[in-house]
A and B are shown apart, each in its own frame.
Chain A
């Protein structure tokens, strides 16, 4: 204990600029000082830390922290975080997002972590707020690591990509349905809230989902909505047996999207809004521009 304090104060003298007090989304201020062992919860947190070049500090993540490909220890599902499992990784900082910490008993787990002397920084929600939300999380993380310039230049890159997206949108916005499928018989629709909706709008489409949440839609309602394009997760398309599988799902072939085979896939992580959103939007916008130019 004494040894650790001595070490900490010694490095404090060397690099005073890195010490910072950061106010989390839960209102709790966290003193951070050049963290070396970070448990980064939520895939977008991991991605953002990678973008800042500080991936070597990550010692643990949850099941969503799979990109970029890594061998980071996983502490399990984000909705059921284990207090002792996280402490066992000896983190000097735990970083997660407000939406994940709100699930299940995670609120108690955060209290337990803090009670055991582990610092927990709560970032704003990762499922709303669009690209501005990504920037504000990036901004907080850059303060954690003391690299504000990296955040600024990343923010500029986002804006540049976004400008290219704007120039590549289809002339007429296609009506889009995001089909969230686990199998041919178990599929629901991502509503007008969340990362999938942000993606559709950025790419120049119009989300035709008639509700906000994730819900199932009857085949008849799908035909009545008659979307021009259907977007799916990569794993969703695989789970229904590829393009031919989707076209066989009830109602799909009767829609414009089905008739013209306008089925698009996006990354599995899309419901959490991360730094790759502009790239995902660009790919989709370019595909739509080509397919819906007339």
Chain B
């Protein structure tokens, strides 16, 4: 009787928190975007930002601005912020889906070999001089690399038409090790300039974002962000275990295939244009699960929103903390998220939720 009552209040508390989260998170993202668009090494006042945005509509400027400010805002800062939103949302939601699929809070897209496959292909394109697509050769190679390693892991973990999650985990570890060795070989063969390129790619950056970069990555990432929430009910059922989910009428094998494909496409595209940005995919969903509970129907969209916010803010810090220089974003995401995550972990543990 008493336990049931406690469970009921616990459940409704999570429901209230979930509703609250889905109200607050979009506002947080909006605020982050406004601040990020209005802040940077080049001074552009809020009234000027507004004037630049409204000028294509033929609105007379509220505040005078010069051409260079307009160019910086529309060709350098804005694509960067948009890329941050898209990549952050993609990474975090992919992480949430992976943790649900593996029923393991430590799972992240890296387990599928996406980052390591992309890393190896990126290093190879740098060192072996792959130059077919000009400036976009490295992202193209990285994307293909991430897909190849994911397909490989997926095929290796299949047995009699079924994908075994444990085998997938182990195959992932092995493929990651192989890719790591390949990347190591490439760094050994690399010249000093090439080595720097590989190092900075591994640290991740939204620098050098252009509209073509955004346009090439966004469709693939948004496909994941828009379709993955449709698997929320299946992921909830999977919390009961695979056979449990199957008894509830969930087409488990097909769902696995859909999730892995969407995650590979969206994370592969994100990694290709922004390099490996760790932490977001692992911790954002985990952090939200502590606050709003494990229901994927709210967890997936909430992860996308918080992931986008975190990456936009991390990039804002990365490009403004050392003006005119930039600090690699991977360092900032970990520095921002890790202490907050630890704080939350300790508090929740004290309250006995975990």
B324 touches A102 (CB 8 A): no
Contact among A1, A86, A89, A116 with B71 in the assembled complex (CB-CB below 8 Å)? A116
A111 vs B134: C-alpha distance when bound (angstroms): 13
For B112-125 the 0/1 string (1 means CB < 8 A from A) is 00000000000000
Check if B319 sits within 8 Å of A85, measured CB to CB: yes
Q: Which among B188, B191, B207 is the interface contact of A109 at CB below 8 angstroms? A: B207
The reply to whether the CB of B75 lies closer than 8 angstroms to some CB of chain A is yes
Q: Which listed residue (A100, A105, A116, A215) contacts B188, Cβ 8 A? A: A215
Interface residue from A1, A82, A194 paired with B324 (Cβ < 8 Å)? A82
- The answer to whether B192 touches A214, judged by C-beta atoms less than 8 angstroms apart, is yes
Q: Is A60 an interface residue (CB 8 A)?
A: yes
Q: A88-B41, A116-B72 are in contact. List 18 more A-B contacts (CB 8 A).
A: A1-B66, A1-B67, A60-B324, A75-B325, A84-B41, A84-B42, A84-B76, A85-B319, A87-B42, A104-B201, A104-B208, A108-B210, A108-B213, A112-B76, A116-B75, A117-B71, A213-B191, A214-B191
Most chain A C-beta atoms within 10 Å of own C-beta, residue among B71, B190, B192, B323: B192
Q: How large is the interface on A (under 10, 10 to 19, 20 to 34, 35 or more residues)?
A: 35 or more
CB distance from A117 to the nearest CB of B (A): 6
Contacts of A116 in B (CB 8 A): 68, 71-72, 75-76
Q: Give me the 8 closest cross-chain CB pairs, A-B, nearest first.
A: A76-B325, A85-B324, A105-B208, A88-B41, A79-B196, A108-B208, A116-B71, A82-B326
**Distance (Å) between the CB of B207 and the closest chain A CB?**
6
Q: Which chain B residues border A182 with CB–CB below 8 Å?
A: none
Q: Which residue of B lies closest to A117 (CB)?
A: B68
In the complex the two chains form, what is the Cα distance from A118 to B69 in whole Å?
A: 12
Chain A residues whose C-beta falls within 8 Å of the C-beta of B68 in the assembled complex: 87, 116-118
Is A25 on the interface with B (CB-CB < 8 A)? no
Taking CB atoms and an 8 Å cut-off, the chain A residues in 104-127 that contact chain B are 104-109, 111-112, 115-118, 127
A80 vs B323: C-alpha distance when bound (angstroms): 14
Cβ-closest chain B residue relative to A39:
B324
Q: Contacts of A213 on B, CB cut-off 8 Å?
A: 189-191
Please pick, from A1, A80, A214, the residue contacting B200 in the complex, using a CB distance under 8 A.
A80
Chain B residues with CB under 8 Å of A102's CB are: 193
* Residues 152 to 166 of chain B near chain A (Cβ within 8 Å): none
Task: Please determine whether A88 and B42 come into contact, CB atoms closer than 8 angstroms.
Answer: yes
Query: CA separation between A79 and B191, bound complex, in Å?
Result: 13
Closest A-chain residue to B77, C-beta based?
Answer: A84
With known contacts A79-B193, A109-B208, A117-B67, A85–B135 Cβ distance under 8 A: no
| Chain A residues in 8 Å Cβ range of B200 | 77, 79-80, 104
Q: Given the complex, which residues of B lie within 8 Å of A214, measured CB to CB? A: 191-192
16 residue pairs A–B, Cβ–Cβ below 8 Å: A74-B324, A76-B324, A79-B197, A79-B199, A79-B200, A84-B72, A85-B319, A87-B72, A87-B76, A88-B40, A111-B135, A112-B208, A112-B210, A213-B189, A213-B190, A271-B192
CB-CB under 8 A from A80, the residues of chain B are 200, 205, 207, 326, 328
Is A99 located at the chain interface by the 8 A CB criterion?
yes
Distance of B277 from chain A, by nearest CB (Å) = 14
Does A73 interact with chain B (Cβ within 8 Å)? yes
Return the CB mask of A90-101 against B: 1 if under 8 Å, else 0: 000000000110
Bound Cα distance from A107 to B138, whole angstroms = 12
A103 within 8 A of B: yes
Residues of chain B within 8 A (CB-CB) of A215 are 188
- How far in angstroms is the closest Cβ of chain B from A54? 21
Flag whether A83 is at the interface (Cβ < 8 A).
yes
Q: How far is the CA of A99 from the CA of B197 in the complex (A)?
A: 12
What chain B residues lie within 8 Å of A75 (beta carbons)? Answer: 324-325
Q: What's the Cα separation between A117 and B69 when bound, in Å?
A: 10
- Closest residue of chain A to B196, judged by CB? A79
Contacts of B353 in A (CB 8 A): none
Complex Cα distance A127/B188, Å?
19
B122 to chain A, nearest CB (A): 11
A-chain residues with CB within 8 Å of residue B207 when the two chains form the complex: 80, 82-83, 105, 109
In the complex, which residues of chain B have a beta carbon less than 8 angstroms from the beta carbon of A88?
A: 40-43, 323-324
Nearest CB in chain B to that of A100: its residue? B193
Bound form: Cα–Cα A17–B17 in Å? 71
User: Would you give the shortest CB distance from A87 to chain B, in whole angstroms?
Assistant: 5
In Å, the complex CA distance between A75 and B76 comes to 16
Which residue in chain A gives the minimum CB-CB distance to B136?
Answer: A108
A-contact bits for B55-74, CB 8 A (1 contact / 0 none):
00000000000111001100
Interface residue ranges of B193-219 to A (CB < 8 Å): 193-194, 196-197, 199-201, 205, 207-208, 210, 213
Residue in A84, A107, A115 whose Cβ sees the most chain B Cβ within 10 Å: A84
- In the assembled complex, the Cα of A98 lies from the Cα of B279 at a distance in Å of 35
Roughly how many angstroms separate A23 CA and B135 CA in the complex, as a whole number?
A: 21
Residues of A within 8 A of B75 (CB): 112, 115-116
User: When the two chains form their complex, are residues B196 and A104 in contact, meaning their CB atoms are under 8 A apart?
Assistant: yes
B328 proximity list for chain A (CB < 8 A): 80
Contact of B41 among A85, A111, A127 (CB under 8 A): A85
B325 touches A85 (CB 8 A): yes
> How many whole Å from B330's CB to the nearest CB in chain A?
12
Q: How far is the CB of B253 from chain A (nearest CB, A)?
A: 40
Interface residues of A in 63-81 (CB under 8 A from B): 73-80
Q: CB-CB < 8 A to A112: which residues of B?
A: 75-76, 208, 210
* Mask of B316-331 contacts with A, CB within 8 angstroms, 1/0: 0001001111101000
**Chain B minimum-CB-distance residue to A213:** B191
Kindly state the separation between the CA atoms of A84 and B322 in the bound complex, as whole angstroms: 12
- Which of A60, A76, A80, A103 gathers most chain B CB within 10 Å? A80
Q: Distance (Å) between the CB of B72 and the closest chain A CB?
A: 6
A192 to B313, CA, bound (A): 45
Give every chain B residue within 8 A of A271 (Cβ-Cβ). 192
Q: How far is the CA of A106 from the CA of B190 in the complex (A)?
A: 18
Q: Which residues of B contact A89 (CB under 8 A)?
A: 324
